[in-house]
Amino acid sequence: MNILTKKESKLFLIISGFFITNALMAEFIGVKIFSLEGTLGIEPIRHMLFGKEMSFDLTAGVVLWPVVFVTTDIINEYFGKRGVTFLSYLTVGLIVFAFAMVYTSIHLVPANWWVTSRISEGVPNFQLAFATIFGQGLWIILGSLVAFLLGQVLDVAVFQKLKSLTGENKLWLRATGSTLVSQLLDSFVVLIVAFKIGADWSWALILAVGLNNYVYKVFIAIVLTPLIYLAHSLIDGYLGQELSDKMKAEASQS
């Protein structure tokens, strides 16, 4: 049977593609640190956390990770714990494969003319720039993957618990609530593995940076709440009410 003839199969493929793309891109763009205030065109918001002066200088990956966790909730709603678990392990495997290919490409001997091909643009060594941008440390990669998997497991557990209490009501509570809990774990695990174990950061700095990142993620999770309702409305319209209700019931039982 051609799986593309079934609406639920098409839906899973589309959502999976979006989920994996966002997770993979978040890993690669995460090497950049940006100023949220500067991006918004406002003065830096200086604040003290655990004795550290902070502003909202964030990894570019935080732009996409909240979207990944919201997408997790949508998958959880229609495909259940098994769907999320399968997709999470598949995504981790693909991320590992992607980084392996990147490290392979970094160690390929560059053409002489290519190394100096961007001098006129202020890049004297294109190979060094390529290796610096894409060659993230192993501790950072490990921390990110561990945080992702643990966050997914916690997101699924909290989502299903809230759904068992609320039924089909209060979508905002189980979607946003599960994201806020899982993001709290994610924000600190990645720092502990990558920078406490891998770079010996102080606990004060870990807590300050982690809390700073989490505040941003909480804000984004709340902002994205209306989009969850929009996504559910579009999916229900595509599936039809009967098939939609059937999938949600099976997802809860799984």
Encode pLDDT of 84-97 as tens digits: 999 999 999 999 99
pTM: 0.86
What average pLDDT does range 103-120 have in this prediction? 94
Percent residues over pLDDT 90 in the chain: 30
Backbone phi, then psi, for 168, in 5-degree steps? Answer: -85, -5
Q: What is the pLDDT of residue 4?
A: 74
Band of the pLDDT at 56, cuts 50, 70, 90? confident
Secondary structure (H, E, C), the chain: CCHHHCHHHHHHHHHHHHHHHHHHHHHHHCCCEEEHHHHHCCCCCCEEECCEEECCEEEHHHHCHHHHHHHHHHHHHHHHHHHHHHHHHHHHHHHHHHHHHHHHHHCCCCCHHHHCCCHHHCCCCHHHHHHHHHCCCHHHHHHHHHHHHHHHHHHHHHHHHHHHHHCCCCHHHHHHHHHHHHHHHHHHHHHHHHHHHCCCCCHHHHHHHHHHHHHHHHHHHHHCHHHHHHHHHHHHHHHCHHHHHHHHHHHHHC
pLDDT exceeds 80 at position 6: yes
Residue 113 burial (C-beta neighbours within 10 Å; 0-12, 13-18, 19+): exposed
Tell me what pLDDT residue 47 has. Answer: 81
Structural domains of the chain, count: 1
pLDDT band at 1, cuts 50/70/90? low
pLDDT recorded at residue 178: 85
Q: Which of 20, 18, 21, 56 is nearest to 37 (CA)?
A: 56
Give the confidence band of 17 by pLDDT, cuts at 50, 70, 90: very high
Range of the domain at 249: 3-253
- Distances in Å between the Cα of 186 and the Cα atoms of 24, 149, 179, 211, 237 are 16, 9, 10, 11, 33
Q: How far is CA 46 from the centre of its chain?
A: 26
Per-residue pLDDT, 88: 92
Do 213 and 60 contact (CB within 8 A), yes or no? Answer: no
What pLDDT is attached to residue 199?
80
| CA angle at 39 for the pair 38 and 44, rounded to the nearest 5° | 25
Q: What is the pLDDT of residue 146?
A: 92
Among 101-105, 150-154, 208-212, name the most confident range.
Answer: 101-105
According to the model, what pLDDT value does residue 254 have?
64
Average pLDDT, whole number, for the chain?
87
173, 179, 182, 187 alpha-carbon torsion, rounded to 10°: -140
Calculate mean pLDDT across residues 220-240: 87
Lowest-pLDDT range of 11-20, 59-68, 95-104: 59-68
What tens digit of pLDDT does each residue of 168-187 get? Answer: 777 778 888 888 888 888 88
